[in-house]
Chain A
Amino acid sequence: GDSVTQMEGPVTLSEEAFLTINCTYTATGYPSLFWYVQYPGEGLQLLLKATKADDKGSNKGFEATYRKETTSFHLEKGSVQVSDSAVYFCALSRVNYGGSQGNLIFGKGTKLSVKP
């Protein structure tokens, strides 16, 4: 079945460091790919998305490129801030398939802590 694998955390970085959180997926067909962020004590917010191969999603300085050849959607940011401390979830959605009506398949999440 479909699945998402993302790097285990926690990840601890200093402010202004470069961030990469790896995400790979297994899916039949052409899923849409997403990154969600969960700040402490809050729900999930959509961070960025990409709906087809080679698309690049970007938001708040974060970027991720849909790589079909490597089945990956790695999250990157050039210079992290303390306010980026959160849990990041990679997810895929098989919108055009039956079953769970476009349900999201999530990775287990990666906790990022940014130190000043």
Chain B
Amino acid sequence: SQTIHQWPATLVQPVGSPLSLECTVEGTSNPNLYWYRQAAGRGLQLLFYSVGIGQISSEVPQNLSASRPQDRQFILSSKKLLLSDSGFYLCAWRPGNTIYFGEGSWLTVV
């Protein structure tokens, strides 16, 4: 069966420090992958999506970047975190016409 995992689950980072969140999908090949962010009191915002290795599209200009070094791996990064980067980050993938989410990563920038 197909599963999606992301880590770390919780992260507390100081302002100006780097970030790396990792997401992997198992049991499928060449999935569409997505990074969403859910800020406190707000809805979900699509940050990046990828249709294949090395193919990244950004939906919102910001302090973050994404990479897809392998078919089933999707990484969200930042070189210098801002306070406004705090939130709940969700990786997702799409088989067919339905998007499924990972467990999420809570990021607090202090």
> Which A residues lie at the B interface, using CB under 8 A?
32, 34, 36, 42-46, 49, 51, 89, 93, 95, 100-104, 106-109
In the complex, per-residue mask of B34-68: 1 if CB is within 8 Å of any chain A CB, else 0: 10000000111010010100000101000000000
Supposing A44-B90, A49-B98 touch, asked if A107 and B43 sit within 8 A by C-beta, the answer is yes
User: Which residue of B is nearest A106, CB measured?
Assistant: B44
For residue B101, CB closer than 8 A to chain A, the reply is yes
B103 within 8 Å of A (CB atoms): yes
Can you report 26 A-B residue pairs in the complex whose CB atoms are below 8 A from each other?
A32-B97, A34-B98, A36-B101, A42-B104, A43-B90, A43-B101, A43-B102, A43-B103, A43-B104, A44-B104, A46-B98, A46-B99, A89-B44, A93-B98, A95-B97, A100-B46, A101-B32, A101-B57, A101-B94, A103-B46, A103-B59, A106-B43, A106-B44, A107-B43, A108-B42, A108-B43
Chain B proximity of A36: nearest CB distance (Å): 8
Q: How far is the CB of B96 from chain A (nearest CB, A)?
A: 8
Minimum CB distance partner of A44 in chain B: B101
- Please, which residues of chain A bring their CB within 8 A of the CB of B94? 101-102
- Residue of A with least CB distance to B88: A43
Supposing A42-B103, A43-B103, A109-B43 touch, asked if A101 and B49 sit within 8 A by C-beta, the answer is yes
B105 nearest CB neighbor, chain A only: A43
Q: Is the CB of B102 within 8 A of A100?
A: no
